[in-house]
């Protein structure tokens, strides 16, 4: 009862670790004793401690911490601080542990993972990318080897057999997206032996806020090759002739684009005088919008890069190339046409999930990151995870300077170049964080023109990540990087080793100078960049240069004119970022609600699919419905062959109908928010209407599968082949889609929807006529809402 009351009253980020104080202190007292143990005795101590029964005095937390400290010293050459032991115990408690950059989170995660494995549990350590998964596994392998714990890692280049071998070990390191795509591929197997991913008990999430919050907004989508018409490249040429504002317009957040009346006239004339808004030319209208999206909403060196005559997508949350991913709905082919490249094959969505859906598969989830408190409420709401803060081993002495605000991006570049040249002249290392590839290369060019040598890290060369980041602390080094979050490599003052005269020189000069090239939409990302300076008590400085025409300000600011030298400029920037964060939270919350229903529907279907896959359910069902056909096929091919054919037919139509269901649901989501505008708000919210219609669509799915399966089975010729390839076709290839959810409409649509709800109520808009009293009351309510909002914003 005490714990429940404390949990109910505590603020996010205040989970208590003080009950581990006695265990950590006892581990220090046992340190000398553990040093005298042999490797075998040390491993046995860790195993017995990890499996000890829980209790105030009888559990093995102290012995486990002592054994872990000595084991890490022997295998990795470092001694775990007390703060790291608190981190390990917090992970074993199933918490998200916040530890500052450079405090050794990787070792904490490895020790906790090995501890769970010693208890006989299967553990996945979820990283943000393949590089970190491989690096962390290889670095911590001596520790798990000492304790007799098997481990491995997976990455995109691994074959199914290699993955199967890796997943059979106790501790597996892999990126959250790669493991998620393995889950999707396993859902579509037609033979149990083709699965690669067994059930895992525990997930330890590295960079938990990035994985569970940022990546959670991007669904993981598996696609397969399908026959389809090639994209008309003439539409790309036509889109390039249209002018923004005159022929096309976009919403405030650059999520949607549409033709103006003048644009419609120009396009219809160019296409031979057709009427785009007729049923006959609906496919052409859709293709035109795809071309407009590629031309005006997707920018080279921001959303994608062109390398080796191919379009490579840039992961918006990581600033890296999203390997083997494409855009859906013909957008990939439209971008390739825009860049004059050969078009990729078309495809159909086979299945999808989210990182949230992936994490729900595990019985126990824990995590670690440097910036968890800022999203503690979301971690609790979406994943039922609590955050615990571990104090740094040494106090942070970094100097965080006030933002430097300028009017335009060009002024900002000049000011940044001047500041870097000045700091560089003093011999201090400089790290610059930029929002995208284009900004990083533009700034690097400007610096080189001033005689400053620059190391650039972005999606074009992210394979050099470790070497570039590790050297960022050398004297006089200038590093320009996109998105430092999750880079995973410490920046040691003086260079890779962080010792010697070079280290002393940089410390004397004031440490690493971190420069932010504009604010991110999330303050967490700013804090992650700042955290690169001041590692483990080192000196350092951070400073952000913000332009008032940055996207964050123009999209999320209040629109009131303000000059850079105005004392209110800094408040305008802060307020815009807070609005951006609130917008992202609403996107996340809405996305979560929509995907949660889809995950529930998929779970129901997967139960049936598992029965079909592992039993003779399909054959028995068809034998009851088509006894004569079944008997003839068995007589011609044998029971085993017919059972397999029936299973494959059922699985094929089950997967095909699910793919079609996903398309129906996607189309439903695309327009669900407009229903309220069309009807003046119904009694149901858009989410409720989506749930109702999505469930209705699912109801007919099983009936359709039954019919399709029966028709296909009845059409089999007893004298013909019934081998797998002859029974059902399979996609010739699969790939992953990079999709971005837009769960509701533009700012204007949401504002209008809210106004209708406040003034008219949920049903009043459908009633004929407006009484004067209702109008006056409605305006009074609107005025009150505006007044309250003004007080909340301006205090």
Q: What's the 3-state SS for 135-166?
A: HHHHHHHHHHHHCCCCEEECCCCCCHHHHHHH
How far, rounded to the nearest angstrom, does the alpha carbon of residue 533 sit from its chain's CA centroid? 25
Strand partners, 204: 125, 366
Instruction: Name 482's bridge partners.
Output: 434
- CB neighbour list of residue 266: distance below 8 Å, 6 or more residues apart: 241, 242, 247
386: CB partners within 8 A, 6+ apart? 7, 12, 15, 95, 96, 376, 379, 380
The answer to the question of whether 338 is labelled as a binding residue is: no
Among 608, 694, 715, which Cα is nearest to 654's?
608
d(CA 690, CA 668): 7
List phi, psi (to 5°) of 309.
60, 35
Q: Is 581 annotated as a binding residue?
A: no
Which of left, alpha, beta for 312 (phi over 0: left; psi -120 to 50: alpha)? Answer: beta
Strand partners for 658: none
Token reading at 240: 């390039």
Q: Is 666 exposed, middle or buried (0-12, 13-18, 19+ CB in 10 A)?
A: middle
Enter the DSSP assignment of 87.
H
Residue 490 is assigned to a ligand binding site:
yes
Element (H or E) spanning 448, and its range? helix 437-449
Q: Is 488 annotated as a binding residue?
A: no
* Residues linked to residue 307 through DSSP beta bridges, in sequence order: 310
CA–CA dist 653, 709 (Å, integer):
7
CA–CA dist 534, 531 (Å, integer): 7
Tracing tokens 């549409």 back to the chain, one arrives at 258
Which of 317, 110, 344, 322 lies closest to 225, judged by CA? 344
The answer to whether the annotation marks 106 as part of a ligand binding site is yes
User: Considering Cα of 491, then 497, then 499, then 505, what sign does the dihedral take?
Assistant: negative
Do the annotations mark residue 105 as ligand-binding?
yes
DSSP string for 477-517:
-EEEEE--TT------TTSSS--HHHHHHHHHHTSEEEEEE
Q: What is the DSSP letter of 321?
A: B
Q: Is 255 helix (H, G, I), strand (E, B) or coil?
A: coil
For residue 607, say whether it is annotated as part of any ligand binding site.
no
CB atoms within 10 A of CB 780: 11
Cα distance from N-terminal residue to C-terminal residue, the chain: 38
| Vertex 70: Cα angle to 67 and 75 (nearest 5) | 115
740 neighbors 317 (Cβ within 8 angstroms): no
Enclosing H/E stretch for 588: helix 569-614
Instruction: Give φ, ψ of 231 to 5 degrees.
Output: -70, 135
How far is Cα 765 from Cα 780, in angstroms, rounded to an integer?
Answer: 17
Which parts are annotated binding residues for ATP?
84, 102-106, 490
* Binding-site annotation, residues: 84, 102-106, 490
């Amino acid at each position: 009862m005490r714990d429940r009351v404390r949990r109910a009253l505590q603020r996010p980020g205040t989970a208590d670790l003080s009950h581990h104080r006695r265990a950590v202190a006892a581990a220090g007292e046992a340190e000398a004793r553990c040093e005298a143990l042999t490797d075998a005795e040390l491993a046995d101590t860790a195993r017995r401690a990890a499996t000890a029964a829980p209790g105030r005095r009888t559990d093995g937390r102290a012995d486990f911490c002592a054994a872990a400290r000595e084991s890490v010293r022997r295998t990795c050459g470092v001694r775990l601080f007390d703060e790291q032991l608190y981190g390990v115990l917090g992970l074993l408690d199933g918490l998200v542990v916040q530890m500052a950059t450079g405090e050794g989170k990787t070792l904490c995660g490895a020790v906790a993972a090995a501890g769970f494995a010693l208890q006989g549990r299967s553990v996945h350590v979820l990283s943000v990318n393949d590089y970190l998964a491989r690096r962390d596994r290889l670095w911590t392998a001596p520790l798990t080897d000492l304790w007799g714990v098997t481990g491995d890692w997976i990455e995109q280049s691994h074959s199914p057999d290699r993955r199967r071998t890796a997943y059979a070990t106790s501790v597996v390191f892999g990126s959250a997206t790669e493991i998620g795509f393995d889950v999707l591929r396993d859902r579509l197997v037609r033979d149990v032996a083709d699965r690669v991913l067994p059930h895992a008990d525990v997930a330890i999430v590295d960079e938990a806020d990035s994985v569970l919050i940022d990546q959670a907004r991007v669904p993981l989508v598996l696609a397969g090759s399908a026959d389809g018409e090639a994209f008309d490249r003439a539409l790309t040429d036509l889109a390039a002739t249209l002018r923004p504002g005159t022929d096309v317009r976009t919403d405030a957040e650059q999520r949607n684009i549409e033709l103006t009346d003048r644009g419609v006239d120009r396009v219809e004339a160019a296409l031979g005088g057709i009427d785009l808004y007729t049923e006959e030319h609906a496919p052409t209208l859709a293709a035109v919008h795809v071309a407009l999206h590629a031309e005006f909403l997707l920018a080279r060196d921001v959303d994608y890069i062109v390398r080796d005559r191919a379009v490579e997508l840039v992961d918006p949350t990581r600033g890296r190339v999203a390997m083997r991913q494409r855009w859906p709905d013909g957008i990939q082919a439209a971008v390739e046409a825009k860049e004059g490249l050969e078009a990729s094959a078309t495809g159909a969505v086979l299945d999808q999930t989210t990182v949230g859906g992936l994490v729900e598969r595990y019985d126990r989830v824990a995590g670690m990151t440097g910036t968890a408190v800022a999203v503690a409420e979301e971690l609790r709401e979406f994943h039922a995870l609590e955050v615990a803060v571990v104090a740094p081993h040494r106090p942070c002495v970094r100097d965080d300077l006030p933002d430097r605000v300028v009017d335009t991006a060009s002024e900002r570049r000049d000011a940044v170049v001047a500041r870097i040249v000045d700091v560089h002249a003093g011999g201090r290392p400089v790290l610059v964080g930029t929002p995208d590839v284009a900004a990083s290369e533009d700034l690097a060019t400007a610096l080189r023109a001033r005689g400053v040598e620059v190391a650039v890290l972005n999606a074009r060369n992210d394979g050099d990540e470790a070497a570039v980041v590790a050297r960022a602390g050398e004297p006089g080094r200038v590093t320009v990087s996109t998105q430092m979050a999750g880079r995973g490599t410490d920046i040691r003052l003086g260079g890779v080793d962080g010792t010697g005269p070079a280290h002393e020189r940089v410390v004397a000069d004031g440490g690493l100078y971190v420069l932010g090239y504009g604010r991110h939409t999330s303050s967490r990302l700013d804090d992650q960049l700042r955290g690169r300076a001041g590692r483990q008590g080192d000196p350092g400085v951070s400073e952000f240069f913000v332009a008032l025409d940055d996207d964050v300000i123009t999209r999320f600011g209040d629109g009131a004119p303000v000059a850079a030298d105005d004392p209110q400029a800094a408040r305008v920037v802060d307020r815009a970022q807070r609005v951006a964060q609130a917008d992202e939270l609403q996107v996340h919350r809405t996305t979560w609600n929509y995907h949660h229903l889809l995950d529930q529907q998929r779970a129901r279907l997967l139960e049936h699919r598992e029965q079909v896959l592992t039993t003779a359910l399909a054959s028995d069902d068809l034998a009851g419905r088509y006894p004569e056909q079944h008997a003839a096929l068995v007589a011609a091919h044998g029971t085993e062959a017919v059972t397999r054919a029936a299973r494959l037919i059922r699985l094929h139509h089950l997967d095909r109908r699910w793919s079609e269901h996903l398309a129906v649901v996607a189309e439903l989501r695309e327009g669900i928010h407009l229903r309220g505008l069309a009807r003046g708000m119904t009694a149901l919210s858009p989410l409720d209407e989506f749930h109702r219609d999505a469930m209705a669509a699912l109801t007919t799915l099983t009936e359709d599968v039954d019919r399709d399966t029966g028709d296909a089975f009845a059409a089999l010729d007893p004298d013909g082949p019934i081998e797998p390839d002859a029974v059902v076709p399979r996609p010739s290839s699969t790939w992953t889609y990079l999709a971005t959810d837009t769960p509701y409409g533009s700012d204007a649509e949401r504002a209008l929807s809210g106004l209708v709800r406040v003034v008219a109520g949920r049903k009043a808009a459908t009633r004929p006529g407006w009484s004067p009293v209702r109008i006056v009351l409605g305006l009074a309510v609107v005025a009150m809402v505006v007044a309250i909002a003004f007080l909340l914003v301006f205090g």
